[in-house]
Structure 1
Amino acid sequence: MTSNDRILHPFTLPNGIELKNRLLMAPMTTCTGYYDGTVSSELVEYYRVRAGSIGGVIVECCFIDDLGLAFPGAIGIDNNEKIAGLAKIAAAIKAEGSKAILQIYHGGRMVDPQLIGGRTPVAPSALAAPREGAVVPRALTGDEVEGMIAKFGEGVRRAIQAGFDGVEIHGANTYLIQQFYSPNSNQRDDEWGGSRDNRAKFPLAILEITHKMARQYADDAFIIGYRFSPEELETPGIRFDDTLYLLEKLAARGVDYLHFSVGASLRPSIVDTTDPTPLIEKYCAMRSETLAQVPVMGVGGVVNAADAEQGLEHGYDLIAVGRACIAYPDWTARIARGEELELFIDSTQREALLIPEPLWRFSLVEAMIRDMSMGDAKFKPGVFVETVQDDVNELVINVSLENDHIADIELASSPEQSVAFTTSFEEIRERILSANTPHVDAISGATSQSEAVKKAVSKAMLKSSKARVAEEGGDDNSPKSYDVIVVGSGGAGLAAAIQAHDDGASVLIVEKMPTLGGNTIKASAGMNAAETRFQRVKGIHDSKEKFYQETLIGGKNKNNPELLHCFVENAPEAIEWLAHRGIMLNDITTTGGMSIDRTHRPRDGSAVGGYLISGLVRNITRRGIDVMLDTSVDEILTDNGAVSGVRLLTDEQERIVVQAKSVVVATGGFSANSEMVVKYRPDLTGFVTTNHKGATGGGIALLERIGAGTVDMGEIQIHPTVEQQTSYLISESIRGGGAILVSQQGQRFFNEMETRDKVSASIIALPEHYAYIVFDEHVRAKNKASDEYIAKGLVTSASSPRELAEKLGMDYHAFLATLERYNGFVEKQCDDDFGRTTALRAPVNEGPFHAIRIAPGVHHTMGGVTINAKTEVLNVGNQTIPGAYAAGEVVGGIHGANRIGGNAVADLIIFGTLAGGQAAKRARA
């Protein structure tokens, strides 16, 4: 029979069960369960439509213990109440004619404490995972190991009672079962650790209890699969011969299939990088006759029939299909008809494809979403060679373009390449190709390389578009036209562009830097708003009036009342505006100067900036909004006093005129322009800045040249907690989470939750002009930004307060006395020393203990151009300049003499959306 016949021909498992074909839907986390791990009706329908023509559906990993969920929105099988919901999924799949298999797992040390109520994850040993921000887990006792095996057994029983045809034991992806087998994560000295035989006991025990439950509650038709990761990069770590050793033991005890967990089905070794042989070929060559009787399943990179055929030819018996099943619910039926498929998702088809909203926002799915507005031919086909620079290397990249899409991205040359380099290149390449746009998230840990690749693609697209215009006889030098031009791509600019587009305007974003995000991407604390639904859910009673008064006091009564009222009134709507666009700020903390928790941030407690920009850029991409990077605005053009367009200068020194009725300037402040800072504040000579290098005040100068007035230019804020060697801002959310400030003498010296200007002044007044922000594991666990500080080497950590004091060169007696006194204040919720009334959340007493040395740095310029509540730019005579709008830090007057932490992000979204809406309204009138 042909390979295609083999793929679609029935296949019999060792237990005698026949699958209608060799194809199964791979287990892929959807993050669509309810908060307690129960099943939603949306999830049932998601699986129903993907069953039918495919042989089996392996339902996403299901946690067997409430300490074991490794994803937000994970589904569970940890108690009997979960059976009913899971039964709906099993019944839906089986009713369509496919086998229903449930994957069961425990995340072990890969669990984020945020997902388990702040509790400490468990693992074989008290060793943190080798990844950024990983916490140290608690080692399971011997009795708890036995109990964990029993929990897996109960999970199997519930899967049987829910009607599943089988279970897949998840022994891969560095979760708990793999952690027990790994010499890296398992360093126990009891019967469950040490030798390879001892380390194998846990996975074998899981298989044994699975068989026991199947014998007791199921029949002989019950399918038992086992998923494994063949290698670990760490030293010591699992090597391929270790994997073969374990699989032989599993096969001897009886499994119905083994599932290779690799990113690409034909991936070679990640340890021996000199050997290009696919691991599946090594596996087939090295396995015993007993192991050869167990079918092996491959996964990764299967889009068309040819991909599945290739997997069978290399030795797989079964093929698991992942993202293609998300994009094409009837994938198997399509390849049976001989269709040739392209892996992308039409941006308008989420509901039709029954893709749950959380999965739609998941990075691997987002990377497949293509804005179908690119359907019209816009490129001249060809290969464009671009030379770009990352932090280390000059990269030569070939970008292949077809009429309407990016066809390929190839690394032509780079002086230095490594496994990590090529892996990250392939990942950013895949993201760009799948999304059909360079405006995708950078790869974590490879930002510079990612941005270089994105820049190369952007340049190629621009050249190709110009070539197409020339080919069709157009004049590329003739003025182009948009309804609205947005200058700057930070939070305010992106929000303005999205709102203008949604109000019917054609929009162009112009950004002088090579990447989107501006200074917003560095924001850390969150977004302030009062009377939001997220506050109400958490029982927080707040009022807009209190928010107004506290902001006014923080700004020393210099705030423009009209703008401040607009700011406060529109803040909750701005939170909803983001939520409706998939950007959820539903965790809440506080910042200095606020008496109530109203600082909204991502659910996982991470820094708001990167999360916000990532979400806004996704929205830009989905709408097909045009973007020009590495392009500065030379001049805002006017006609009879009204804005008529802009003159641009590209990075290749090409001058372009673009016409528009409305221009929104959202270029940020001038904190990175030391000359301009010192002009208005000579006392800030020599201060570091937290801002990115593009924050130079260029937008203020542009608007001044067409007559704009300015206000509060001397009001420049210094942030109290800046790491001086890196100019890295330490988020106010750390203090808002319960941290304290301590001098070199080991003593508190000021109210940590006062406004930034006052806290900064108190640090400058210390003899050494610096201090330490001190926090414990409780604060760290609830503020994900702290994990980033630890990963960057900014943090000094110790197991005890005494050890921390010694590392910092403090008198530990004074430091211990300080902690004891502060913890007493927390207990009675009253700070007798400095009058702190907020963020007395918990005593600083849970090790390990952490400290970061900080001092003030230039952070925010409250001054800027003058606007009214409609974001219209005002001239020196307080009259509007028709067609000119401004939002964000380029504007003055909103924050007065001092900005409250968390108000900047609110400012960006509130006035960014107002500016976009007003600009579109004028342009479309």
Structure 2
Amino acid sequence: MFSPFTLPNGTELKNRLLMAPMTTCSGYFDGSVTHDLVEYYRARAGSIGAIVVECCFVDDLGLAFPGAIGIDHDEKIAGLAKIAEAIKAEGSKAILQIYHGGRMVEPTLIGGRTPVAPSALATPREGAVTPIALTTDEVDGMVAKFGEGVRRAIQAGFDGVEIHGANTYLIQQFYSPNSNQRDDQWGGSRDNRAKFPLAVLDITHQMVRQYADDSFIIGYRFSPEEREVPGIRFEDTLYLLEKLAVRGLDYLHFSMGSTLRPSIVETRDPTPLITHYLAMRSATLAQIPVMGVGGVVNAVDAEQAIEHGYDLVAVGRACIAYPDWAERIASGENLPLLIDSTQREAKHIPEPLWRFSLVEAIIRDMSMASAKFKVGTFIEKVQDEQNERVISVSLDTDRIADIELAAGPEDDVSFVTHFEAIRERILHANSPHVDAIAGATAQSEAVKKAVSKAMVKSSKARRVEEGMNPSVPQDYDVVVVGSGGAGLAAAIQAHDEGARVLIVEKMPTIGGNTIKASAGMNAAETRFQRVKGINDSKELFFAETLKGGKNKNNPALLHRFVENAPLAIEWLANRGIMLNDITTTGGMSIDRTHRPRDGSAVGGYLISGLVRNITKREIEVMLDTSVSEILTEHGTISGVRLLTDEHEELHIRTKSVIVATGGFSANSQMVVKYRPDLAGFVTTNHKGATGGGIALLEHIGAGTVDMGEIQIHPTVEQTTSYLISESIRGGGAILVNQQGNRFYNEMETRDKVSAAIIALPEHYAWIVFDENVRVKNKAADEYLAKGFVVSADSPCELAAKLEMDPHRFLATLERYNGFVEQQNDLDFGRKTGMRNPLKQGPFYAIRIAPGVHHTMGGVTINTDTAVLDKQQQVIPGAYAAGEVVGGIHGGNRIGGNAVADIIIFGTLAGHQAASWAKR
């Protein structure tokens, strides 16, 4: 089943396994594609040969499910293209199933209108509506709609279409004597009833000849029998399939609940229908591969289907339960058809599909199996920026049973709405560590914090109830201090190597400074670069990082950094965090900045994915808890002393500590101590970046390096201290002064661009971009939402709003656009990020100036992340990763290298700490 398979048109599938088309009910109200749906298919692509995407309606009267997706208008092409691109980017073929529900459509799904069908006969089910019979002209029009659907599928980038002639939908309705009782050329005899499916196949071939190439796949799905009298019998099906085969197909898809199902009409015959099919088909039909579906969960099921004569095997619910199903089967795993109830987000299952009955049937509540709570209800305060409310958290022995909001003196509709949304997420995940609700971050975090507190209190009460003393020190193999990207990556890696891990975070929320990261993650020689044809090398990456760091980088750490970067990209991908879109940043000569495919800021996406992995592993997290001291015995790490937000002191015994607390950009006194010239600068960092981890490690003897190397970022919105991502300039934006002129190479290193802005008379600049840059950088939408973007339909209108000379500004744009056309910046020598001329309105500008962004200095470590003392000797059991460490970035950090740093050295620290704990 894992051998390549060649279809009749010459297209090769990497193996004989396909993901079956399964309706997710996850489209928008108008049948367009959601982001969740794209990620659902992306997660399941890669190791499987092809994915047949769920049925797509060709007409707005044809949707048979709520949340169905459509291919009925050209406006749908862009959304469907995202699905095709996601599947193909992972290495699987993308096939789109097209259909019309006919009389199976509920009027409520089509705005109360009456469904259409071959004849005005209701489907034989209770409460079914009698459809309107299509006129002869309307039948011709319906064939044309299928053809337009095929064209759109081709233009969306799919590798093929599957014509859905099964499941009693419209195509089957035309062939069935039960549902088609017409007396024109489309009904009556079997030959006439076959005309509609044949016409659909004919127009499919016509569209493929016109818009696609010979590699485009055409499949046909059929239901072999109907129970109704009169109804389709197996001989009727073979008759139709023979006619379809003569016209040309690349595969036929049996639609049954089980690959080896016998007849539902001849109930006394136990012979599988596939056996009858093989015996009865002609030599012509035998040339068309046949695919089976139903009940395939493990390798033995697929092998059995192939042994009985199927050429291809479609896998259904097992692919929902296991996105990497084919890979698991290839490695010899035997899989139960179950889904852990905490795994919806980790498995990228859209919520409507999660609630679908066939999926609900395989969900099992395996959440927090190791946790032990005292059963009861705990009352906590929820305090955000504007409200103080009370919630009750009900806990069962191993789960969060419910979260209720107490009535307030005045009901805040917005608060209640957002509370219900975050409540739903927490209950679904059975964990407070979930994504905040967009637009209600402060409230979400307050609710999550309150639930966390209730859980801690309940756990402590349970221990007391069982006769344990909660003040007795608890034991962990590894304690991770800090919950940014480095800390989370370290905790996941240590856990995966068998360590019992505790994460301690002084802030009330997970994410640290990583959550504010915007550009991406640098790495060279990655598979994502190879897919895009980007020829990069680790040697070039090393040289450019060293040059950017003013040759002050620690060479040994930098070599480890560059060598491990592509491995870190794969480490994330293996945990469902795909950074497979690529751009560039200042100081890089080539595209190597990996970011989410949709161009969004990397930080939120990264933290969200890491938190899903933390929740999946049930790694314990203590928020609002600071480490007051790292304890040692005979010079070796022995524990940590903690202080909770309720002033409770705790002693934790541990064999190793990983400090990942970030830098000190938000500690203005510490910044000015090392760089007096930075007094008064704003910082892009979160308020927890105060250097506390450096002080903790210095207290046990750690040495430091490069403490005076503090980077300012050139593009910071000053009223909010919001960082404007380097990916905006990397996407094609320019910088202009108040006079409307460019003044420097926008893609130079951050220190040089910052110096050029500071040297301007006004000490600020404008970052200018157009609609083409915006749509390719989702982070720009955040800036628009924040309200600090100035926009206009034309350059002259934008110049007027910015109070600059419109003629000079227009001349600047025209001159720069000419450089883009020639790929030669005669003014400032810009070499990268010159992607497209800036000429597509609307046009945008953000006023920016430099701000303190990154502290390159920190504690000293070796290439295994072990903390070194002032004599360069290892402090046994102490490890550090991320911005708390010095030496990696030298005198200036290249944009995109910080995210690489935290994952590379975070995972390395997790590995080393777990290994030390085992000794």
TM-score between the two structures when normalised by the length of structure 1: 0.68
Q: Indicate if the aligned counterparts of 1:668 and 1:695 stay in contact, CA closer than 8 A.
A: yes
The equivalent position to 2:69 in structure 1, one of 53, 61, 65, is: 61
CA shift at 1:840, angstroms?
Answer: 1.0
Partner of residue 600, structure 2: 606
Q: Indicate if the aligned counterparts of 2:795 and 2:843 stay in contact, CA closer than 8 A.
A: yes
CA shift at 1:445, angstroms?
Answer: 1.1
The equivalent position to 1:70 in structure 2, one of 79, 83, 94, is: 79
The equivalent position to 2:826 in structure 1, one of 828, 832, 847, is: 832
Partner of residue 631, structure 2: 637
Distance in 2 of aligned mates of 1:470 and 1:353: 38
* Letter aligned with residue 79 of structure 2: A
Question: Structure 1 residues 917, 898: CA separation in 2 closer, same or farther (over 3 Å shift)?
Answer: same
Partner of residue 163, structure 1: 166
CA shift at 1:414, angstroms?
Answer: 3.9
Partner of residue 666, structure 1: 660
CA shift at 1:74, angstroms?
Answer: 3.7
User: Is 2:743 the counterpart of 1:740?
Assistant: no
Measured against aligned partners, the alpha-carbon deviations of 1:515-545 in whole angstroms (never above 9, x if no partner) come to 1000000000000000000000000000000
**What SS does the corresponding residue of 1:778 show, helix, strand or coil?**
helix
Partner of residue 587, structure 1: 581
The equivalent position to 1:505 in structure 2, one of 499, 502, 514, is: 499
Partner of residue 219, structure 2: none
CA shift at 1:346, angstroms?
Answer: 9.0
Distance in 2 of aligned mates of 1:428 and 1:890: 32
Q: Indicate if the aligned counterparts of 1:38 and 1:85 stay in contact, CA closer than 8 A.
A: no
Question: Structure 1 residues 553, 478: CA separation in 2 closer, same or farther (over 3 Å shift)?
Answer: same
Measured against aligned partners, the alpha-carbon deviations of 1:123-162 in whole angstroms (never above 9, x if no partner) come to xxxxxxxxxxxxxxxxxxxxxxxx9997588449999763
* Letter aligned with residue 688 of structure 2: G
**What SS does the corresponding residue of 2:877 show, helix, strand or coil?**
strand
Distance in 1 of aligned mates of 2:53 and 2:741: 59
**What SS does the corresponding residue of 2:453 show, helix, strand or coil?**
helix
User: Is 2:875 the counterpart of 1:881?
Assistant: yes
Question: Structure 1 residues 552, 358: CA separation in 2 closer, same or farther (over 3 Å shift)?
Answer: same
Distance in 1 of aligned mates of 2:23 and 2:818: 56
Question: Structure 1 residues 569, 159: CA separation in 2 closer, same or farther (over 3 Å shift)?
Answer: closer
CA shift at 1:424, angstroms?
Answer: 1.7
Partner of residue 559, structure 2: 565
Distance in 1 of aligned mates of 2:724 and 2:400: 39
Partner of residue 193, structure 1: none
**What SS does the corresponding residue of 1:831 show, helix, strand or coil?**
coil
Partner of residue 427, structure 1: 421
User: Is 2:908 the counterpart of 1:918?
Assistant: no
Question: Structure 1 residues 385, 36: CA separation in 2 closer, same or farther (over 3 Å shift)?
Answer: closer
CA shift at 1:61, angstroms?
Answer: 1.4
Question: Structure 1 residues 508, 818: CA separation in 2 closer, same or farther (over 3 Å shift)?
Answer: same
Once the two structures are superposed, the pairs formed by residues 462-611 of structure 1 within 5 Å of their partners are 462-611=456-605
Distance in 1 of aligned mates of 2:324 and 2:42: 24
Question: Structure 1 residues 366, 668: CA separation in 2 closer, same or farther (over 3 Å shift)?
Answer: farther
Distance in 1 of aligned mates of 2:195 and 2:391: 56
Percent sequence identity over matched residues? 69
Partner of residue 897, structure 1: 891
Partner of residue 304, structure 1: none
CA shift at 1:425, angstroms?
Answer: 1.1
Distance in 2 of aligned mates of 1:644 and 1:39: 44
Question: Structure 1 residues 164, 347: CA separation in 2 closer, same or farther (over 3 Å shift)?
Answer: closer
Question: Structure 1 residues 445, 825: CA separation in 2 closer, same or farther (over 3 Å shift)?
Answer: same
Distance in 1 of aligned mates of 2:25 and 2:107: 8
Q: Indicate if the aligned counterparts of 1:678 and 1:685 stay in contact, CA closer than 8 A.
A: yes
Measured against aligned partners, the alpha-carbon deviations of 1:413-452 in whole angstroms (never above 9, x if no partner) come to 4455344332221111111111111011111111111111
Measured against aligned partners, the alpha-carbon deviations of 1:545-597 in whole angstroms (never above 9, x if no partner) come to 00000000000000000000000000000000000000000000000000000
Partner of residue 397, structure 1: 391
Distance in 1 of aligned mates of 2:602 and 2:108: 33
Q: Indicate if the aligned counterparts of 1:486 and 1:508 stay in contact, CA closer than 8 A.
A: yes
Distance in 1 of aligned mates of 2:145 and 2:45: 16
* Letter aligned with residue 360 of structure 1: K
Question: Structure 1 residues 64, 728: CA separation in 2 closer, same or farther (over 3 Å shift)?
Answer: same
Distance in 1 of aligned mates of 2:144 and 2:769: 38
Partner of residue 110, structure 1: none
Partner of residue 784, structure 1: 778
Q: Indicate if the aligned counterparts of 1:25 and 1:58 stay in contact, CA closer than 8 A.
A: no
**What SS does the corresponding residue of 2:79 show, helix, strand or coil?**
coil
Measured against aligned partners, the alpha-carbon deviations of 1:166-217 in whole angstroms (never above 9, x if no partner) come to 379xxxxxxxxxxxxxxxxxxxxxxxxxxxxxxxxxxxxxxxxxxx999999
Distance in 2 of aligned mates of 1:718 and 1:623: 37
Distance in 1 of aligned mates of 2:512 and 2:185: 56
Measured against aligned partners, the alpha-carbon deviations of 1:266-318 in whole angstroms (never above 9, x if no partner) come to xxxxxxxxxxxxxxxxxxxxxxxxxxxxxxxxxxxxxxxxxxxxxxxxxxxxx
Distance in 2 of aligned mates of 1:218 and 1:441: 53
Larger-gyration structure (1/2): 2
Distance in 1 of aligned mates of 2:769 and 2:445: 34
**What SS does the corresponding residue of 2:738 show, helix, strand or coil?**
coil
**What SS does the corresponding residue of 1:557 show, helix, strand or coil?**
coil
Question: Structure 1 residues 393, 358: CA separation in 2 closer, same or farther (over 3 Å shift)?
Answer: closer
Q: CA RMSD of the aligned region, Å?
A: 3.9
Distance in 2 of aligned mates of 1:725 and 1:751: 25
CA shift at 1:800, angstroms?
Answer: 0.5
Distance in 1 of aligned mates of 2:437 and 2:893: 33
User: Is 2:781 the counterpart of 1:772?
Assistant: no
* Letter aligned with residue 163 of structure 1: A
Question: Structure 1 residues 148, 862: CA separation in 2 closer, same or farther (over 3 Å shift)?
Answer: farther
CA shift at 1:361, angstroms?
Answer: 1.7
The equivalent position to 1:27 in structure 2, one of 25, 42, 46, is: 25
Question: Structure 1 residues 763, 167: CA separation in 2 closer, same or farther (over 3 Å shift)?
Answer: farther
The alignment covers a number of residue pairs equal to 679
Partner of residue 6, structure 2: none
CA shift at 1:376, angstroms?
Answer: 4.1
Distance in 2 of aligned mates of 1:846 and 1:73: 22
Once the two structures are superposed, the pairs formed by residues 80-479 of structure 1 within 5 Å of their partners are 151=145, 154-155=148-149, 162-163=165-166, 165-166=168-169, 352-353=336-337, 360-362=347-349, 364=351, 372=366, 374-376=368-370, 378-414=372-408, 416-479=410-473
Distance in 2 of aligned mates of 1:647 and 1:876: 24
**What SS does the corresponding residue of 1:884 show, helix, strand or coil?**
strand
Q: Indicate if the aligned counterparts of 1:718 and 1:760 stay in contact, CA closer than 8 A.
A: yes
CA shift at 1:64, angstroms?
Answer: 3.5
CA shift at 1:372, angstroms?
Answer: 3.0
Moved more, 418-427 or 569-578: 418-427
Distance in 2 of aligned mates of 1:498 and 1:638: 24
Q: Indicate if the aligned counterparts of 2:374 and 2:397 stay in contact, CA closer than 8 A.
A: yes
Distance in 2 of aligned mates of 1:576 and 1:460: 37
Partner of residue 812, structure 1: 806
* Letter aligned with residue 748 of structure 1: R
* Letter aligned with residue 762 of structure 1: A
Question: Structure 1 residues 568, 159: CA separation in 2 closer, same or farther (over 3 Å shift)?
Answer: closer
Question: Structure 1 residues 921, 861: CA separation in 2 closer, same or farther (over 3 Å shift)?
Answer: same
* Letter aligned with residue 849 of structure 2: A
* Letter aligned with residue 785 of structure 1: A
